[in-house]
Structure 1
Amino acid sequence: MGALALQTEQLLPEQIAELLGLSGVPGEIVGGLIGAFLIANIMLTMTAIAGPWAKRKITAAFTDRIAVNRIGPFGLLIIIPDAVRLLSKELIVPEGVDRPSWDLAPIILPASALLGFAVIPMGDLGPVNIHLADPEAGLAIVFAFASIASVALVMAGYASNNKYSLMGGLRAVAQNIAYEIPLIITALSVVIFAGTLQMSEIVAAQGTALFTIAGVSIPAWYAFVNPFAFVLFLVANMAEIGRNPFDIPEAPTEIVAGYQTEYSSVYFVLFYLGEFIHIFLGGAIMAVVFLGGAAAPIPALEFIPGFVWFVIKIWAFFLFTQWCRSALPRVRIDQLIEIGWKGMLVLSFANLVLTAIIVGVII
């Protein structure tokens, strides 16, 4: 999808309201609710594939095993018995838990990630533009929603009345503070280039060609414009979603399962769900900020719908997280904090200053 088309197309709620013949406030409400339902179900379906099936198959490929292959084609239908097995287990409530916080934590975690997708432009699928809302401060909003996850982890750790869980919650706070600041500062370097916080405008700013080699145009994606910022953002993003080598808040070999030690049945499923939705949200933010959003990598491939390219990009990020899970050892908590405060923070500020100088003086 071209940059101009992205800016002029209707948002998904507006398209739904027009299709239903509604206008005004009722049309906005109905269109928004139906649009949110559709996007939430797309992400939940992708998560259902990623967790019980894709994670196992990818890990098995890295470790030279077979993984699930018995139920359905390629083992895909393992999703159904896995869901039944987990949801039918007894929900065990330990003694002494802070029940309201303990009950709310597994709901807040996936909800915070799903809320983030409200402002993510996912591109077109035929005549439909899959984008719920496009506020001027969209990038700030998506970071705000994503950061709510740390509140859920602290609630789970504190409310569980378990020292391992409490330790996991404290680790989550320390990790999120140490890496969320570099994450946002690195994203600000992109804001300086684009001149806006609006998600669609950030995507549109990457719609031109950076240079052409042998007739092939290299897009002006910020991953190519500023690869140093892209690597910084990737590392900070991995720490933010808590994937290896930064899975310190749950670290099974150290603190059992950290913040989720005392959770079972449907509550465990919600934590598991939230973890994978946050991976996809992290991939979606990277796609929008550094990889041109739903744009095709070369003009010759623009016949493929933008939504397909967007899904490919976030699945590529998911694949990268699983590669890290299989290949990289977990860092210690002291190493993690040192990398964040002494390394990532300094480098992100250096990148921000350098970007400001380049944009202000050279460009």
Structure 2
Amino acid sequence: MNPVPLQGTGTVLLPEQIARALGGNNPGAPIELLSALIAAAVIGTIMLTMTAFAGPWAKRKITAAFTDRIAVNRVGPFGLFIIVADAVRLLSKELIIPEGADRPAFDLAPVVMAGSALLGFAVIPMGSLFGINLQLADPETGLAYVFAVASIATLGLTMGGYASNNKYSLLGGLRAVAQNIAYEIPLVVTAASVVLFTGTLQMSQIVAQQQETLITIGGIAIPSWYAFVNPFAFVLFLAANLAEVGRNPFDTPEAPTEIVAGYQTEYSSVYFVLFYLGEFIHIFLGGAIIATLFLGGPSGPASGSIGFVWFTVKIWAVFLFTQWARSALPRVRIDQLIEIGWKGMLVLSFANLVLTAIIVGVVL
């Protein structure tokens, strides 16, 4: 398949490639609709497959390595079949609805949680794999869209906490709201510092502007990834992202030793699976945003044909970092979490934004 550039973008998006394969250069509206659905199913399947490996298997293996344990090793080679075993076990359990639950909100919360993260991948440039460009859409407001749909997850957590008719669940939902408000502002403000460098919200352009060489040291070319250009913003974004995905030291909405399991205490069977799925999809979405904004997206050696491989390596590296934080960092109290967010992260993110604006306006 030889991609033909789309006008104004320089590359062919996945739905366009599928449409041309099915209907030639002038596919009709039904073919375009079918192609869009197929492309969305492809991206969704890729991310759900990664999540299936991350949740039941990789999380346990990584945590066991950090804590000097063995983890799953009995079901299949390397314990990989635990993925199937857990899926069958959880989906076959009885779906228990607590007495006094608000059914519409109780039923919708897990879907909102998982769906909001999947929607975010619609505009992420994942690179190409043997000539196939794995990106669904590339709007000029791509970065704003990602933050908008990712923030919908907070609504799902709040709905689940409120609708469960459980005081611990309600506390978890309220904590999720407080945490996301406190840390989403620093997250967006730090991302805005990248926008100052690029001058665009379009995800593909943000990646494209990180392809040049920043400096060459001893014959080794250092790419102009914004993690190297502005490492302070990169560290800030990593820390705020931990709070957004609910990983230590910012896992207060769940906090098992304090509020049992928070917003998901009353959920079981397929609803619990959706909450669990949504949690890990959001971790990968956070990794995808970090890779796009700071790590050059799918760029790497021979990235023209296997860019998706490098993109996958980067988001799994972010996942490994979140699991390290989960094993190594103690949970902060809710009052400490809010203080860190409003008095620390917010101030630092605005300071970074002002400094970046000065650099861009005066130096560059």
TM over 0.5: yes
> 2:314 aligned with 1:310, yes or no?
no
Q: Aligned residue for 2:102?
A: 98
Q: Aligned residue for 1:204?
A: 208
Q: Aligned residue for 1:13?
A: 15
**For 1:27-46, what aligned pairs fall within 5 Å after superposition?**
27-46=31-50
> 2:125 aligned with 1:121, yes or no?
yes
Deviation at 1:24, TM superposition (A): 4.1
Deviation at 1:108, TM superposition (A): 0.6
Distance in 1, matches of 2:85 and 2:179, equals: 35
Q: Aligned residue for 1:61?
A: 65
Do 1:90 and 1:265's aligned partners in 2 also have CA atoms closer than 8 Å?
Answer: yes
Do 1:183 and 1:237's aligned partners in 2 also have CA atoms closer than 8 Å?
Answer: yes
Q: Aligned residue for 2:357?
A: 356
Q: Aligned residue for 2:160?
A: 156
Show CA shifts across 1:187-241 (max 9, x none). Answer: 0000000000000000001010000011111000000000000000000011011
| Aligned residue among 73, 77, 82 for 1:73 | 77
Deviation at 1:304, TM superposition (A): 6.4
**For 1:1-363, what aligned pairs fall within 5 Å after superposition?**
7-21=9-23, 23-296=27-300, 299=301, 302=303, 305-363=306-364
Deviation at 1:158, TM superposition (A): 0.6
Distance in 1, matches of 2:304 and 2:137, equals: 25
What is the TM-score normalised by the length of structure 1? 0.96
Do 1:294 and 1:309's aligned partners in 2 also have CA atoms closer than 8 Å?
Answer: yes
The code of the aligned residue for 2:347 comes to: V
Deviation at 1:26, TM superposition (A): 2.6
Do 2:178 and 2:338's aligned partners in 1 also have CA atoms closer than 8 Å?
Answer: yes
Deviation at 1:302, TM superposition (A): 4.1
Distance in 2, matches of 1:75 and 1:135, equals: 41
Deviation at 1:78, TM superposition (A): 1.0
Deviation at 1:336, TM superposition (A): 0.3
Distance in 1, matches of 2:32 and 2:116, equals: 22
Distance in 2, matches of 1:197 and 1:303, equals: 23
Deviation at 1:27, TM superposition (A): 3.3
SS at match of 2:151: helix
CA RMSD of aligned residues (A): 1.4
Distance in 2, matches of 1:286 and 1:153, equals: 23
Moved more, 112-121 or 303-312: 303-312
What is the TM-score normalised by the length of structure 2? 0.96
Give the fraction of aligned pairs with identical amino acids, expressed as a percent: 76
Distance in 2, matches of 1:116 and 1:174, equals: 22
The code of the aligned residue for 1:10 comes to: V
- Post-superposition, which runs of at least 4 consecutive aligned residues in structure 1 deviate over 2 A? 4-7, 24-28, 301-304
Do 1:14 and 1:27's aligned partners in 2 also have CA atoms closer than 8 Å?
Answer: no
Show CA shifts across 1:105-140 (max 9, x none). Answer: 011101000000000000000010000000000000
Count, aligned residues: 357
SS at match of 1:305: helix
Do 2:131 and 2:305's aligned partners in 1 also have CA atoms closer than 8 Å?
Answer: no
Distance in 2, matches of 1:52 and 1:113, equals: 19
Distance in 2, matches of 1:309 and 1:321, equals: 19
Deviation at 1:31, TM superposition (A): 1.4
Distance in 1, matches of 2:63 and 2:164, equals: 30
SS at match of 1:235: helix
